[in-house]
Structure 1
Amino acid sequence: MQRLLKAALIGNISGLGVHWIYDRPFLETLSQHQSLIFRVQDKEIYEKAKKSFYVYPNKPLGSVSTQGMFLYWLSNALTTNPNLTQTDYKNLLFNKIKPGGSYSGYIESYAKKMIIEELSKDLSLELPVLPKTDDHLVGFIPYIAYKAHQLDLTHALKLTQLFSNLNEYQDFFNVFDILLSPSGLNLIESLKKSIHQAPPHYKLALEQALITQDLDLFINEHSGIACQINQSIPLIFYILSHSNSFEDMLHLNAKLGGATADRGLILGMIGSIYYDIPDKFINMLDLSILEKQ
């Protein structure tokens, strides 16, 4: 399996145990007594948090989020058909997640809308076309898969546009290209260089991510911990710039809560360029578990 793909999935697995717990003080306290990475979701812990969404019950250790599954399915499809079209991608996802499909897991809003559209066509309901304005990290799944397979990223963008036509995704494809091709630069230098490719309205938050030490101040003023890219990308920059190893990066990501597993996809991909991945983490990636999800 390609290194970038493997690293992204490892990052995703690492954060699933606390994914969508929105109580940072609670997670900080919990982290002082037990590791928050590479764990199964514990309903009791979710119930103790002030705000949480317990949507991956009974998933064994080594499981990934829905976006992690999208990445795994897409990568497998590209192995057999590198000329995948947007329609192929849509059919791939729809057949997995539709009612009666093989996937057993939480379905997010963008995927629910796709299911509604496809069932509407099948039933000739003539419902209005839904706008493609999703702003979640799912838009980067094609980038990770195509980059791992060394395929043309213009085709990856077409797949991203299945859910969103926002220009920010293309800009961040360019940001990630710089981070994944450091040309002798260290991580901080690469992050600084990549900001020039970011959408103008993101630049202040990304710059502050590199220099702000007060975590609460940064989250309150420049990011957040939820799934939208205007919160996730600045926070990913903060995590990368305040970590000293792959393991350190995953621990910090988990302690922040929110979209931990889906941020982990991006963090794992980028972090693998600058840090060695511990063998104990690599061993957490069991493809037989993903095949059963």
Structure 2
Amino acid sequence: MNSSIKLEPRVAAILGALVGDAASLGLHWLYDPARIAQIDKSKGLVFLQPDASDYAGVSGYFAHGKKQAGDSSAYGELCLLMLRHIARHGKFYRVDYQSEYRNYFGPGGGYQGYIDSPTRQTLQTLLPLKPEDFPLQSGADDDQFAALAALPAIVAAHDESQDALKAKIEQVVRLTNNNDTAVAAAQYAGCALLAILQGQSAGQALSGALPHAGEKLAPLVEEALQTGMLDSAAAAKRFGSACHVLEGVPVIAHIARYAPDYRTAIEENIRIGGDSCGRSIMLGAIMAAYTAQQNGQVASIPLEWAARYHKLSIAADACVQLRHQ
């Protein structure tokens, strides 16, 4: 089945992020491309049941033993949390969001799964406090990919200036990642997605957002955009495939610039290994929004992929609320 979904670009961005994350979960944090290639030949790449034997004897970390194919990583859960927050409240409210974050990811909350370092440190800050005492910057000094996870909903719901978007992104990122590099990476990715939603091509948007990337990230992304052809393996070898934004954002930009469609982008992202779920949030958002813009609101998210994402109905309901605001 090769059917794609007709979606308004803002909705496509959000669902592209969520579906991409779930598609990547089965091989998340497997750092051996040769092993991934072997698995691809026998089982494929997307929506695989997490299996410890796939990680045996090679570089990787098996974190999702209690999850099922179609579940989300913590990144996808964070993306959905922000979507539901904005859909419920009409806009972003910091203290309410911090409370929802603590209630969901903290002890006794609805989230079940691996807790990464930024999440753990953020919870350690929030758990002892009353909501009225929550700090403006509750996040860890950490540049990992939790910093980008909430962006699709933030950007999709944004109707102000680019400068206002950058300020909002900084506020949101510092709640989980109180780190200048993380903020700059999020502002770059957010401005690129906004430009796509405003009608720019992926190449124009990814290049045009470079002034927002900061002095550490900008030259890396610029290099990643200049290869002239899709070579995700070379990009991963050059920039890295781990959880840090200085590694992953150039890889995202490279794939988004040269991949022909959403399916190709997500599969290439999985093939190179490492923090595929972390990269998939903004990669999926950018590719889905761009293809929806280019193809008369037909995003190239495969229909059969969307159907396998376990929280599709929850996300779809929140997107309907978002569109009516």
- TM-score bracket, normalised by the shorter chain, equals 0.7 to 0.9
Q: Take 1:260 and 1:116, find their aligned partners in 2: how far apart are those partners?
A: 26
Q: Take 2:170 and 2:90, find their aligned partners in 1: how far apart are those partners?
A: 14
Aligned to 2:84: 76
CA contact (8 A) 2:262 2:288 kept: yes
How many residue pairs get aligned? The number is 283
Which ranges of structure 1 fall in alignment gaps of 5 or more residues? 123-128
Cα-Cα RMSD: 2.8
Cα distance 1:117–1:248, how it changes in 2: closer, same or farther (>3 A)?
same
CA contact (8 A) 1:62 1:286 kept: yes
Cα distance 1:171–1:252, how it changes in 2: closer, same or farther (>3 A)?
closer
Aligned to 2:176: 163
When structure 1 is superposed on structure 2, of 112-121 and 232-241 the one drifting more is 112-121
- Equivalent residue of 1:283, what SS? helix
Aligned to 1:3: 12
TM-score by length of 2: 0.77
- Equivalent residue of 1:248, what SS? helix
- Equivalent residue of 2:21, what SS? helix
Give runs of ≥4 in structure 1 deviating > 6 Å: 288-291
CA contact (8 A) 1:63 1:289 kept: no
The residue type paired with residue 21 of structure 1 is: L
Identical counterparts, % of pairs? 22
Task: Please report how far the alpha carbon of residue 237 of structure 1 lies from its aligned counterpart in structure 2 after TM superposition.
Answer: 1.3
Which ranges of structure 2 fall in alignment gaps of 5 or more residues? 1-6, 131-136, 292-299, 316-325
Task: Please report how far the alpha carbon of residue 83 of structure 1 lies from its aligned counterpart in structure 2 after TM superposition.
Answer: 4.2
Aligned pairs for 1:1-293 (under 5 A) are 2-48=11-57, 50-121=58-129, 132-150=140-158, 153=165, 154-168=167-181, 169-170=183-184, 172-182=186-196, 185-212=200-227, 218-221=235-238, 223-275=239-291, 276-287=300-311
Task: Please report how far the alpha carbon of residue 165 of structure 1 lies from its aligned counterpart in structure 2 after TM superposition.
Answer: 3.3
- Equivalent residue of 2:56, what SS? helix
- Equivalent residue of 1:40, what SS? coil
Q: CA offsets, 1:86-108, max 9 Å, x none?
A: 22222111111222222211111
Task: Please report how far the alpha carbon of residue 85 of structure 1 lies from its aligned counterpart in structure 2 after TM superposition.
Answer: 2.9
CA contact (8 A) 1:179 1:194 kept: no
Aligned to 1:126: none
Task: Please report how far the alpha carbon of residue 288 of structure 1 lies from its aligned counterpart in structure 2 after TM superposition.
Answer: 6.8
TM-score by length of 1: 0.85
Cα distance 1:135–1:87, how it changes in 2: closer, same or farther (>3 A)?
same
CA contact (8 A) 2:184 2:213 kept: no
Task: Please report how far the alpha carbon of residue 189 of structure 1 lies from its aligned counterpart in structure 2 after TM superposition.
Answer: 3.5
